[in-house]
Amino acid sequence: MRLKPILAALSLTACAHPTPPADPAPAAVSAPERGNPLLTPSPLPLSMPTFDQLQDGDFAPAFERGMAEQRAEIDAIVNNPEPPSFQNTILALERSGALLQRVSNVFFGLSSAHATEAMQALEEELAPKLAAHMDAITLNTGLFARIDAVHAQIDALGLDPESAQLVKRVHADFARSGARLSDADKLTLSALNAELSTLGTQFQQTNRKAMTEGAVVISDVGELDGLSPEEIGAAAAAAAERGLDGKWVIALQNTTIQPVLSRLTNRAVRERVFRASTGRGSSGGPLDTTTIVARLVELRAQKAALLGYPNFASFALTDGSAKTPAAVDAMLDQLGAAALVKAKGEAAALQKIINAEAKAARAKPFTLEPWDWAYYAEKDRKARFAFEEAEVKPYFELNRVFRDGVFWSATQLYGLTFVERTDLPTYHPSVKVYEVRGADGSLLALFLLDVFQRETKSGGAWMNNYVDQSNLLGQRPVIGNHLNVPEPAPGQPVLLTFDEVTTAFHEFGHALHGIFADTQYASLSGTATPPDFTEFPSQQNEMWAAYPAVLANYAKHHETGEPMPKALFDKVIAAQNFGSGYATLEYVAAAKLDMAWHQIAPGAAPDASGVTAFEAAALERAGMAFAPVPPRYRTTYFNHVFAGGGYEAGYYAYIWSEVLARDTGVWFLENGGLSREAGDRYRSLILSRGRTQEPDALFAAFYGKAPDVGPLLDYRGLR
């Protein structure tokens, strides 16, 4: 997932009041006297943030100063007596807000990766203020008049293609954000968006707390049978951090199905973990998110209607590749139908194992439930391929996976080298920093790797920019990858599942999209693309996790260094599509939920008490209500969709992008595989281009023909 800060390069989804906010508080004026490190560019390489110097109290005055500076810059554009031109309007707008963007990148990066209570409180306070600030820009009548004038003469300006694209994108984004509305409607839109921005922040913070407090506490270590010594040690360490000495804690991750469910032999404990996971946000009390969801959905529907769209999905999709809800639903329905058939076959195979075990034990068989699936799937995998996950984990040690897998494949494809910098400050001791250098030795980027789960960190995995690339501003990128791997007890190795290995490659695909960004303008740079294209490079990079040459380079035993035996290696490759019915169906079910919520008309959203019923009805209507396979995310903890991260009505993007990714995988195999020639072409035509052209044009230039869904169906074993 690409994390999108609220203020990422004129992110026009967060808007509020068209009247400029009041002047900054006096505290902002005195900030330089206090030595606020946010108010001047960092002296570190590539302006990497000085994390070690930051204090919670630095952020509020820095935001106030940044907003004040950008308001002055916008006023200068609007009041310029010269006729509107590319230089004095579009380029001036692109240059504006440098301080505010710098502060936003640092703050919102940290608020997801390592948030203090003070930061969380400030985040909620900032949401409506930043929305109001953005509206002071995007709903400014005088500013849009100048933008409109430049856009009207674009063909006569003689601009280079990237500059022409910037004009088109700025004009489209302003128009789509309500710049043409009447003054009265702008005020209505502002009120809607101020509340939306606050609610999105509240959902994210409530969901984070619910995930933390929903952790399962174990009093008898025997109940952890099936887990490895390293996993039990991590559970003990997690308990100790909470002051629960002598106990064990199974911390929750953001998805419905928790990784430990594949290994816990105690069925009652598996059920406890599953119910703790799925109960997040829907069990009443202060951590219930149903009220937030109901209000968010209604407000988004009202916003879409005000902007002239029948529903929020129609509004959101105009900026993506899919364009319409009908196109998304058709694709999801086709894929979901195939996945359901396969998942039912997988379920039948698992039920046979359950029945056979019950017969052997002379016990009554039970019906396969969601908390049983992963556990019995592991048994099925072992029976079919003669190996289980526990056999392969010793070959997936964290440091080797990155050094000899993730980084090594990037070296083979693009000539990159990675040098760890232990002298640069980070926000947590476990975070590592690497210089990323090109084949010619030039410094391309800094890369921060933040692997371990902690209570101050959001769930899931994501990439973000701490510094945006821009040739105009002379900036090279500082990129972060964030995972949520449980940290083991001291002295124990970090052994990954193959799913976690794949996630590492996925997020590094996002990182490459940022590292190789080579555009004039930050607002067109790197991952500043629609979600259904942003996920393309990340999913494409997953292919190298299982590519034989790459797998052979990193899959070595953590104690002996011996390569994974060829027989086991071949089984891992053969089992790539195992369980693809389940994996596809859980994803499609979640994507259909997202689409159902965002095709609601104004006034038709359920209240909080109807959220669960709406979810159930939507899955039933979509043909995805198959009890053993719950959605990857239930509504009440669906952070992608309800936390305002840019994936609302956009969760389908993963599968839409995967069509492009699997087509590209076939292209690589046909054009040299893991080779510099193939990698450099992909880099030059896709990874470096950002949104300097529209996504369909970029892909056509690279691939040479229209996308084909066939390789995706083959990859997932669905035909």
| Residues labelled as active-site residues | 507
Q: What is the DSSP letter of 515?
A: H
Q: Crossing angle of helices 531-541/653-670, nearest 10°?
A: 40
Interatomic CA distance for residues 642 and 196, integer angstroms: 10
Alpha carbon distance 444, 712 (integer Å): 32
> Which strand (E) or helix (H) includes residue 329?
helix 325-360
- How far, in Å, CA of 463 to CA of 466, rounded? 10
Q: Phi-psi category of 644—alpha, beta or left, where left has phi over 0 and alpha has psi -120 to 50?
A: left
| Residue 159, token pair as written in the block | 């601009």
Distances from the Cα of 51 to the Cα of 223, 357, 419, 425, 480, angstroms? 41, 55, 20, 6, 13
Ramachandran angles phi, psi of 537, nearest 5°? -65, -30
Query: Where is 121: in which H helix or E strand?
Result: helix 117-138
Which residues face 556 on adjacent strands? 563
Distance CA 655, CA 586 (A): 12
Residue 400: φ, ψ to 5°? -70, -35
* Residues 6+ away with beta carbon under 8 Å from 22: none
Helix, strand and coil in the chain, % to nearest 5: 60, 5, 35
d(Cα 155, Cα 250) in Å, to the nearest integer? 60
Q: What residues have CB less than 8 Å from 495, skipping those under 6 apart?
A: 228, 230, 393, 394, 396, 397, 398, 558
Task: Report which of 283, 470, 522, 257 is spatially closest to residue 375, judged by C-alpha positions.
Answer: 257
Strands 443-452 and 478-485: parallel
Main-chain dihedrals φ then ψ at residue 362, nearest 5 degrees: 55, 45
Q: Is the dihedral of CA 428, 208, 455, 57 positive or negative?
A: positive
